[in-house]
């Protein structure tokens, strides 16, 4: 007698990531949001009786993509200040706009817009660093996504909080409110070494250790950051964090562009993780992160898009391809960062950095059913010798056809099942007009 299950998805290829294989004509059986089995489609038809069944004969099924670093609400600033160096970009454009417009409504609407873009492009979970985390959390839940919510901390005031203690207090209040929801996790998000003092870092570390919370921070992004740290503290930023006790398996270092063997060894020896954001690093002329050296040193490296204001796309397919190509060009090795490794960076490595690899990041029985189907048809991706290679080098987010998060269908045949995309676009246009008006005042 067949076993009743909620969902059965048949695909031409299934790439579970763990292990790194390509399974042909296989099916994934799901019940109550978890993967029960991955088995040949013929056997699945005999063993399971599903309430819903999808037959995807020209598709590859992969785990949901993990965006390891973004500022989701900044989707409302997409293209607002392009082709400008980082500190000028922040000081003359981003921070003034935030001072005028930042609030709960801005963060909610911007995060919803980002969720739509990411989901449609195959991202099922993202690691966010922005203000008003409670509004971001509500937007994530209303969108049906999964997210790690950052409790941001700076040493200067913003429309969100007045000082370090205020940031920490407000962040912990949000965690208390939403912490029991399985779709959300929380971490401390000190912005950067140049915006957070030693005293504030000490407070963050105390709370993080007491509550067993990760820490997510921009680090070694620009040469100016390193120069300023040495002038002020006599140490490069990584060494300063090491001296303060912040390095460890709970630390996610974002960017790490300007990193030599000393910094790489410190991160490796302490079991830290790195979020590599290649597009943002190029667009802001920050430089080229030594990803091959970091991975060779045993550092777990995931991929992030950064915010849409410094990337213009929250597109993990684009990040996979660019990361692989940059690694080859920088190392002079065509076999550096192969397609398999790029896919792992965008899935399992990101989940591992978030401490969620026991639940997501690969298609394994017992894990949550976060899955993405990519359609492998069309002249632009024909012929198909290796579907895994095609995922990284030939396909794009426009080929994503179906997205399941926690076993629930969120995108079907390229269309949202519950989000009103036209309403989100209209709201984004409303915010654009408001921001433009603010510049004139």
Same-domain pairing of 118 and 235: yes
202 falls within a domain: yes
Does the pLDDT value for residue 322 go beyond 70?
yes
Does the pLDDT at position 438 exceed 90?
Answer: no
d(CA 309, CA 12): 37
Assigned domain for 423 exists: no
**pLDDT tens digit sequence for 366-397:** 999 999 999 999 999 999 999 999 999 999 99
Q: Are both 26 and 51 inside the same structural domain?
A: yes
Q: 261 in a domain, yes or no?
A: yes
370 close to 125: Cβ distance less than 8 angstroms: yes
Give yes or no for a contact between 186 and 180, defined as CB atoms under 8 angstroms apart: no
- C-alpha dihedral (62, 68, 69, 70), degrees to nearest 10: 30
- Domain span at residue 255? 65-353
Does residue 228 share a domain with residue 268? yes
Beta strands at 273-276 and 300-303: parallel, antiparallel or unpaired: parallel
CATH of the domain at 51: 2.30.40.10
435 - beta bridge partners?
none
In a domain, 363, yes or no: no
Q: Do 149 and 251 share a domain, yes or no?
A: yes
Statement: residue 197 has pLDDT above 70: yes
Judge if 56 and 94 occupy the same domain: no
What was the pLDDT predicted at 440?
A: 59
pLDDT computed for residue 86 by the predictor: 78
Q: Are residues 199 and 263 in the same domain?
A: yes
pLDDT band of residue 76 (cuts 50, 70, 90) is very high
Please report whether residue 413 resides in a domain: no
Q: Tell me which residue of 31, 121, 144 sits closest to 400, measured CA to CA.
A: 121
**49 membership: H or E segment, kind and range:** strand 48-63
DSSP 77: G
Q: What is the CATH number of the domain that holds 261?
A: 3.20.20.140
pLDDT at 276: 98
Domains contained in the chain, number: 2
Residue 177 lies in a domain: yes
Per-residue pLDDT reduced to its tens digit, 286-316: 999 999 999 999 999 999 999 999 999 999 9
Regarding whether 381 and 313 lie in a shared domain, the answer is no
% helix, strand, coil for the chain, step of 5: 45, 25, 35
Q: Do residue 178 and residue 294 come from a single domain?
A: yes
Do 14 and 72 share a structural domain? no
Q: Of all residues in the chain, what percent carry a pLDDT higher than 70?
A: 99
Q: pLDDT band for position 441 (50/70/90)? A: low
10 Å Cβ neighbour count for 120? 21
pLDDT, tens digit (0-9, with 9 covering 90-100), for 206-253:
999 999 999 999 999 999 999 999 999 999 999 999 999 999 999 999
Specify if 412 maps to a domain.
no
Same domain, 162 and 255: yes
Answer for the pair 91, 398: CB distance below 8 angstroms, yes or no. Answer: no
């Amino acid at each position: 007698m067949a076993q009743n299950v909620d969902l059965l998805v048949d695909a031409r290829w299934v790439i579970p990531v763990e292990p790194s294989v390509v399974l042909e004509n296989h099916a994934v059986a799901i019940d109550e949001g978890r993967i029960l089995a991955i088995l040949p489609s013929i056997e699945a038809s005999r063993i399971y009786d599903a309430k819903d069944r999808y037959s995807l004969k020209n598709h590859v099924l992969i785990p949901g993509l993990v965006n390891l670093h973004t500022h989701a609400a900044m989707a409302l600033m997409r293209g607002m200040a392009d082709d400008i160096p980082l500190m000028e970009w922040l000081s003359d454009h981003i921070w003034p706009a935030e001072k005028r417009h930042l609030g709960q409504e801005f963060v909610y609407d911007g995060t919803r817009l980002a969720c739509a873009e990411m989901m449609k492009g195959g991202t099922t979970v993202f690691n966010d660093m922005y203000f008003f985390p409670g509004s971001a959390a509500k937007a994530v839940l209303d969108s049906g996504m999964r997210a790690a919510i950052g409790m941001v901390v700076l040493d200067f005031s913003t429309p969100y909080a007045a000082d370090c203690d205020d940031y920490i207090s407000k962040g912990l209040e949000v965690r208390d409110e939403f912490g029991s929801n399985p779709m959300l996790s929380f971490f401390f998000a000190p912005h950067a070494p140049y915006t957070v003092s030693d005293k504030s870092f000490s407070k963050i570390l105390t709370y993080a250790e007491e509550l067993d919370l990760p820490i997510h921070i921009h680090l070694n992004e620009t040469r100016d950051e390193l120069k300023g740290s040495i002038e002020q503290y006599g140490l490069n930023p990584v060494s300063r964090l090491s001296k303060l006790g912040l390095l460890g398996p709970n630390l996610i270092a974002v960017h790490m562009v300007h990193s030599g063997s000393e910094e790489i060894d410190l991160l490796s020896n302490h079991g830290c993780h790195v979020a590599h954001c290649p597009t943002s690093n190029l667009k802001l002329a920050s430089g080229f992160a030594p990803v091959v050296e970091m991975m060779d040193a045993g550092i777990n490296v995931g991929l992030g898009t950064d915010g849409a204001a410094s990337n213009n796309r929250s597109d993990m397919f684009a990040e996979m391809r660019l990361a692989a190509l940059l690694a080859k060009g920088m190392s002079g090795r065509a076999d550096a960062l192969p397609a398999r490794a790029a896919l792992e960076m965008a899935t399992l490595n990101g989940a591992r950095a978030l401490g969620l690899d026991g639940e997501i990041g690969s298609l394994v029985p017992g894990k949550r059913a976060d899955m993405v189907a990519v359609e492998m048809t069309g002249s632009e991706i024909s012929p198909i010798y290796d579907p895994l290679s095609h995922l990284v080098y030939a396909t794009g987010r426009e080929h994503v056809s179906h997205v399941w998060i926690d076993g629930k269908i969120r995108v079907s045949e390229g269309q949202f099942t519950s989000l009103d995309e036209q309403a989100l676009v209209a709201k984004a246009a409303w915010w654009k007009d408001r921001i433009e008006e603010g510049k004139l005042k």
